[in-house]
Amino acid sequence: MNDLFLRSCRGEAVPRRPVWLMRQAGRYMPEYRAIRAKTDFLSLCKTPDLVAEVTLQPVDFLDVDAAIIFADILLVPEAMGAELRFQAGDGPVFPQPVRRRQDLKHLHVPDVEATLGYVFEGLRRTRKRLENRVPLLGFAGTPWTLAAYVVEGGTSKSFPHLLGWSHRDPAGLAELLDLIAETTIHYLRGQVAAGAQALQLFDTWGGLLSLERWRQIALPPLQRIAEALAGQVPLIYYSNGTGHLLPALAELPVDVLSVDWRLPLSEVRRQVGSDKVLQGNLDPTTLLAPPEVIRQRTLQMIDDGLGGAHIVNLGHGILPMTPVEHAKAFVETVKARTLD
């Protein structure tokens, strides 16, 4: 197996940087769009054969060094009892948002085999079809980020319901975060049992909180998950717009910190120390530039990431309007850059 990714997760020296792309199975690929033309998003997530197929598309086409199971972070709150809809153009919607302690009775810690077994089956079929070419990642959203969607009822610019609750009744919100954390622990253990060889936690909305409040509110349930999964497979924590949280992220019991493009990797490394493996951090809009600009920016990022282990990725998911040849130029640039 190409184990550059797993060795980098463990901080081992490698002859070149491994590379994969967040949302690499997605709308920028014609092969993915062909499947979505016949299947709505949630049905795709829940059909293991199709999951395996779209998960493998970027491995075949881009020749990336890791696969990530095709799924959505919001499948977890749905399994907990929150009705979830994906509306074209509007993104995800929870028609019955959870906004007060009394609303918690509508949620429960589910039997993950019964409710999310399709993800596990997707992992097993993908592992089989991958034939150990590259490792397969599983993933989940963090409790804070999942709560953001469930409380707000969808996405938001300022998340007033979530943050209002956090100020008004922090103990009530902590109950919601704990419910999500417990479910997530079962879910991620199930993913490992089904063949996930590394796990990534997505914290899209972690950056909403100040460092002090992040430590009080978002960290405890996250820490609980990280501790429950420790020692099984490499654990990656992704967040966006969280440069102000680096002092806390440095202490997080995960192997890899996946960061956005706002701070150079060298500056992140200076703040978190060279023991933490870094993942990232090309601005995904760079892939809208001509290939020559993509190559130059990618090489600059690799150079900036020297001084410790580094898994090359974007700083956020690849954009749907990205030309596939540009994604390919990115991957090829990384692969051609050997380390001395």
Where do we find the tokens 């409710």? 115
Are 191 and 136 spatial neighbours (Cβ–Cβ below 8 Å)?
no
Of 115-123, 158-166, 177-185, 332-340, the window that binds a copy of itself (rule: CB under 8 A) is 158-166
Q: Strand, coil or helix: what is 138? A: strand
Is 333 a residue that touches a copy of itself (CB under 8 A)? no
Nearest CB to a copy of itself, comparing residues 15 and 89: 89
- Least distance to a copy of itself from the beta carbon of 230, Å? 29
Is 238 a residue that touches a copy of itself (CB under 8 A)? no
Binder to a copy of itself among 13, 89, 167, 171 (CB under 8 A)? 167
Q: Strand, coil or helix: what is 316? A: coil
Letters for 293-312 (x = contact with a copy of itself by CB under 8 A, - = none) are x-------------------
Is 283 a residue that touches a copy of itself (CB under 8 A)? yes
Query: How many residues interact with a copy of itself (rule CB under 8 A)?
Result: 34
Distance CA 119, CA 114 (A): 11
- Least distance to a copy of itself from the beta carbon of 155, Å? 7
Closest CA to 246 of 206, 284, 304: 206
Near a copy of itself in 310-329, by CB under 8 A: 316, 319, 321
DSSP 235: E
Is 87 a residue that touches a copy of itself (CB under 8 A)? no
Identify whether 238 is a catalytic site residue: no
Q: Could you tell me how many residues make up the chain?
A: 340
Distance CA 320, CA 301 (A): 23
Distance CA 213, CA 114 (A): 35
Of 14-22, 58-66, 153-161, 189-197, the window that binds a copy of itself (rule: CB under 8 A) is 153-161
Identify whether 16 is a catalytic site residue: no
Distance CA 305, CA 252 (A): 20
Of 109-117, 189-197, 223-231, 240-248, the window that binds a copy of itself (rule: CB under 8 A) is 240-248
Are 77 and 149 spatial neighbours (Cβ–Cβ below 8 Å)?
yes
Nearest CB to a copy of itself, comparing residues 5 and 214: 214
List helix spans (H) across the chain: 4-9, 30-36, 41-45, 48-62, 75-79, 112-130, 143-152, 160-168, 170-193, 211-213, 219-229, 246-249, 265-272, 291-304, 324-336
Identify whether 63 is a catalytic site residue: no
**Largest alpha-carbon pair distance within the chain?**
59
| Catalytic residue ranges | 23, 27, 36, 72, 149
Which residues bind to a copy of itself, rule: CB under 8 A?
155, 157-160, 163-164, 166-168, 207, 209-213, 241, 243-244, 261-264, 283-286, 288-290, 293, 316, 319, 321
